[in-house]
Amino acid sequence: MKLEIPYHLENYIGGHLIAPLSGNFIDNINPATGEVVGQIPDSHKKDVDAAVQAAKLAFPDWSTSPVEERFKILNRIAELIDAHLEELALAETNDNGKPLWLSRQVDIPRASANFRFFATGIMHFSAESHNMEDKAVNYTLRQPIGIVGCISPWNLPLYLFTWKIAPALAAGNCVIAKPSEVTPVTAFLLAKICIEAGLPGGVLNIIHGTGPGAGEAIVSHPEVKAISFTGSTRAGERIAAIAAPKFKKLSLELGGKNPAIIFADCEWEKMMTETIRSSFSNQGEICLCGSRILIEASVYDKFKTEFVERTKQLKVGDPLENESRQGAIVSKMHFEKILRCIDTAKQEGGKILCGGNPVNLTGRCENGFFIAPTVMEGLGPNCQTNQEEIFGPVVTLQSFKTEEEALQLANATSYGLAATIWTQDISKANRVAAKVESGIIWINCWLLRDLRTPFGGMKNSGVGREGGWEALRFFTEAKNVCIQL
């Protein structure tokens, strides 16, 4: 099977690819060229209603199917993703603007890994039993919830979409999923793969459209019992406001303003290489990117000189070219937002050390949305630039003198997603790790992921954890059964 991409994408409902009931579509734009390359369904409540009906029909069989059956189908989906690596990687890059080598090396392999991980995981999933000596025994049933909603963002499109769908399906739920309207194509192709893999109709339904249109219709649908959402804190707040009074189970993976804490005694070269990566990978459009770099004062100048030098060497270019380290920003709207944030930083007294400007490419990409990786200094911890998520290739440098000051700066935002700590002093690393208010801490590394670990944020970065058993527990309802002996 070749994965053709039609000009008009379709929803995936009840095992079929179908047009939105309204007949309305939204333009899909390649951010590297600025061209409209297709149309995506502008779905609304009626499409979601149809998807829920299909899911209801599918649920009794899917939820009671042997785990070996679910394993086989999900594993087959993983194999088909691998088999279509090239087509999926190209589609991801054309949709998102990220370098093709990155889609090939990270995004698509991770999507198949997600399916494989939860396909095998469900074979080993078990529940607790609590013995009350000679009086009674309790055992816990972890049953599928029913119909669940999965909503994902544009920065790691297939990677994050499958990260939610795979555990939800493995646990026996039927799913209504919505990818970002900015990057819909690989989710559309996943529907084709699911059909090919023999996933029964209605088990997974993929609805395209905007947040307020299709997204809210999923969140507010009375038959959708749980929502797993990854996206901005602002949208998370709105989703929580809709879902909480309906007592839906909620998992929210939201924004970040992550600190990278660099002590003078770190392994310098490794820290430098990884800090470039943690600052600018995927154009800085990863929720885990370190956007506030905190440097011990004694090495601040050394760091600044080397870091700026290396940043200037990152080639901004056509995402299809192997030498490009930085691709396009995902959309015109986001491109303009990042440039506005850079303007704000300047008004706040920030000094631009490099970048800070759009990059005009020639040829195929002359109308694309490119920004030079940007490093700034001279901004205090409480200014807007150091408080609000920019989600682009923009980092600030701040210096600290003591461990306490480093912690104060690290914790000085309303977010708490991820932090990176660089030091060779393992006691200091552990002390700081325990006190940084973040759900995910990397010591002397960045984005080293084990899919079994709890993943998620504190404070305004989210509620709940994904990954491993946490995800399978989220997507099941725990029921205690007590038997008196």
Q: Active-site positions?
A: 253, 287
Residue type at position 203: V
Point out which residues pair with 415 in neighbouring strands: 459
* Cβ-based nearer residue to ligand NAD, 275 or 460: 460
Instruction: Pick between residue 24 and residue 75 the one whose CB is nearest to ligand NAD.
Output: 24
Residue number, 304 or 337, with CB nearest to ligand NAD:
337
Hey, which residues does 441 pair with through a beta bridge?
Answer: 419
Dihedral sign computed on CA atoms, order 11, 16, 17, 19: negative
Give me the 193-222 binding string for ligand NAD, x by CB under 6 A, dash otherwise. -----------------xxx--xx--x---
Task: Give how far Cα 210 sits from Cα of 43, 102, 178, Å.
Answer: 8, 26, 9
The one segment of 51-59, 104-112, 153-161, 298-306 that binds ligand NAD by CB under 6 A: 153-161
Q: Contact letters (x/-) for ligand NAD, 272-291, by CB under 6 A?
A: ---------------x----
Of residues 78 and 187, the one with the C-beta less far from ligand NAD: 187
Which residues 6+ apart lie within 8 Å of 295 measured at CB? 262, 303, 304, 397, 398, 399, 400
Note whether 439 binds ligand NAD by CB under 6 A: no
Query: Counting contacts by CB under 6 A, is residue 238 touching ligand NAD?
Result: yes
Among 14, 202, 256, 416, binds ligand NAD (CB under 6 A): 256
67-83 vs 157-170: helix crossing angle, rounded to 10: 160
> For residue 261, which of 234, 286, 296 has the smallest C-alpha distance?
296
Among 51, 147, 177, 239, binds ligand NAD (CB under 6 A): 239
Question: For residues 420 and 260, is the Cβ–Cβ distance under 8 A?
Answer: yes
**Helix or strand or coil: residue 176?**
strand
Q: Which is nearer to ligand NAD, 158 or 299 (CB)?
A: 158
- The full length of the chain comes to 485
CB-side exposure of 99: number of CA atoms within 13 Å? 20
Least distance CB 417 / ligand NAD (angstroms): 6
Q: Hey, what amino acid is at 94? A: N
Question: Which of 150, 170, 235, 361 is in the footprint of ligand NAD by CB under 6 A?
Answer: 235
E runs forming strands in 31-154: 35-41, 129-132, 136-144, 147-151
Residue 159 interacts with ligand NAD (CB under 6 A): yes or no:
no
Please spell the DSSP secondary structure of 410-471, one letter per residue.
HT-SSEESEEEEE-S-HHHHHHHHHHS--SEEEES-SS---TTS-B--EETTEES-BSHHHH
Choose, by CB under 6 A, the member of 20, 368, 457, 467 that binds ligand NAD.
457
How far apart, in Å, do the first and last CA atoms of the chain sit? 58
Closer to ligand NAD by Cβ: residue 154 or 370: 154
Binding flag, residue 155, ligand NAD (CB under 6 A): yes
Binding mask 389-418 toward ligand NAD (x if CB under 6 A, else -) reads x-x-------------------------x-
Instruction: Give the residue, chosen from 42, 107, 253, 377, that forms a contact with ligand NAD under the rule CB under 6 A.
Output: 253
* Minimum distance from residue 324 beta carbon to ligand NAD (Å): 22
Residues 286-315 touching ligand NAD, rule: CB under 6 A, are 287
Written as one letter, the residue type at 133 is E
Q: List the one residue out of 108, 297, 78, 278 whose CA is nearest residue 197.
A: 78
Stretch that binds ligand NAD, among 21-29, 73-81, 117-125, 232-240 (CB under 6 A): 232-240
Pairing of the two strands 129-132 and 136-144: antiparallel
In 34-121 the beta strands, taken as DSSP E runs, fall at 35-41
Among 14, 231, 392, 464, binds ligand NAD (CB under 6 A): 231
Which tokens go with 32?
């590297």
Answer for which of 39, 120, 232, 411 binds ligand NAD (CB under 6 A) is 232
State the nearest-atom distance from the C-beta of 393 to ligand NAD, in Å. Answer: 14
Binding to ligand NAD by CB under 6 A, coded x per residue (else -) over 6-45, reads ----------------------------------------
Determine the size of the site formed for ligand NAD (CB under 6 A): 31
92 lines the binding site for ligand NAD (CB under 6 A): no
- Structure tokens given for 129: 């039993």
CB under 6 A: which stretch of 54-62, 103-111, 248-256, 306-314 binds ligand NAD? Answer: 248-256
The candidate with the shortest Cα–Cα distance to 198, out of 56, 87, 74, is 74
The residues of the shown chain that bind ligand NAD, judged by CB under 6 A, are 151-155, 160, 178, 180-181, 210-212, 215-216, 219, 230-232, 235, 238-239, 253-256, 287, 389, 391, 417, 457, 462
